[in-house]
Structure 1
Amino acid sequence: MLIRHATMDDLDALATMETACFPPLEAADTEVLAGRIECYPDHFWLMINTDDDDIDATFPAQVEEGTLMSFINGPATNQTDLTDEMFTDPNVHEEEGEWQFLLGVDTAPIYQNHGCAAYLLRRVILDSAISGRKGLVLTCRERLKSYYEQFGFFDEGLSTSCHGNGAWYQMRLVLPRRELDEYCQHLVDEHAEAFEATRESLAQAIGETTSYIDDEDRF
């Protein structure tokens, strides 16, 4: 298994995965994905199956190292709420942005329900903490709220976003920092249980990353 950021060479595989994971009104097309890769390639996280004996050739999302299993992407910005503009305009990205937004958490159908997205999401949470972000923000359907809550996200109610139609709920995760500003401290006080889940996610991600590095060092 390999986890890395994106390059333009990954575009076809990413577009194939996006189409497989989302209905047409929600899926980012090739042009949009290309714009995101150009503007913020390091804000794509790709999980790749590099085991030649375990590659399913029936799923066409192939990258140089193997089969694309899962990917997460989105801009960083100082805005606090997710907007429809983020889905269409990659230039909203600010490399030093305080909040990491997640526009898509994609997992190939053949790899779903195997923990791939959870593993990758914990890595994104850890990388965001290392980068000094205040936290992460995403939107999801009501049925998925409990899934994201296990990582430390909490429900902020209906989002103003109408991307792809239907109701979206904004979910926020606040990262531990040496000093929290008044806004984040208020959120932590209000969502103490979620903040503890965030700490647990970070601890697990650190353990997983250490194991991942140890495995890579064997080659």
Structure 2
Amino acid sequence: MKITYAEEKDIAAIAAAEAACFPPAEAATEHEFVERIKYYGNHFWLLYDADKLIAFVDGFVTDEPDLTDAMYENACMHNENGAWQMIFGVNTLPEYRKRGHAC
């Protein structure tokens, strides 16, 4: 197992994992991940099993204490020096759940 930060090369795998974890109406799109990684790729933690992305946690930093819907849509709201680390999602592929990967 390997934990890394997100980079542009990870976008397709991240979008695929998101699609496996959420219904289409709720899942972030590949384009949204492009923007998120551009602004706060260092706030994505990716868990790889060999070359396969099996789980990730993501969210940006802000001075706002409460998570809002707008934060999911506006990656540019990230403030690297903010007081609060938001968690947008904890995604684990269904076949890897209940194994302690999201602890």
The TM-score normalised by the length of structure 2 is: 0.97
Offset of residue 26 of structure 1: 1.2
Counterpart check, 1:103 vs 2:88: yes
1:109 Cα deviation from its structure 2 partner = 1.1
Q: Verify: 1:35 aligned to 2:20, yes or no.
A: no
Which is greater in Rg?
1
Say if 2:87 is the partner of 1:116: no
Task: Report the 3-state secondary structure (helix = DSSP H, G, I; strand = E; otherwise coil) of the residue aligned with 1:14.
Answer: helix
Which residue in the other structure is 1:75 paired with? 60
Shift of 1:104: 0.8
Structure 1 unpaired stretches of 5+: 51-65, 119-219
1:92 to 74, 77, 87: 77
**1:24 correspondence with 2:9:** no
Structure 1 segments of 4+ aligned residues over 2 angstroms from their partners: none
Give the match's secondary structure for 1:116: coil
Q: Which residue of 2 aligns with 1:47?
A: 47
- Matched residue count: 103
Q: Percent of aligned pairs with the same residue?
A: 42
Structure 2: distance between partners of 1:26 and 1:99: 23
CA distance in 2: counterparts of 1:69 and 1:30, whole angstroms:
17
2:94 & 2:66 partners in 1: Cα distance? 30
The structural deviation recorded for 1:18 is 0.3
Q: Which has the higher helix share?
A: 1
In structure 1, distance between residues paired with 2:57 and 2:69? 18
User: How do 1:135-174 and structure 2 match up within 5 A?
Assistant: none
Q: Does 1:11 align with 2:25?
A: no
1:69 deviation in Å?
A: 1.2
Tell me the distance in 1 between the aligned counterparts of 2:38 and 2:67.
20
Report which structure shows greater RCO (CA 8 Å, sep ≥6): 2
Instruction: State the SS of the aligned residue for 2:56.
Output: strand
- For structure 2, the residue ranges without an aligned partner over 5 or more in a row are none
Q: Deviations over 1:46-100 (max 9, x none)?
A: 01112xxxxxxxxxxxxxxx11111000110000100111111101100011100
Amino acid paired to 1:67: K
TM-score (norm 1): 0.46
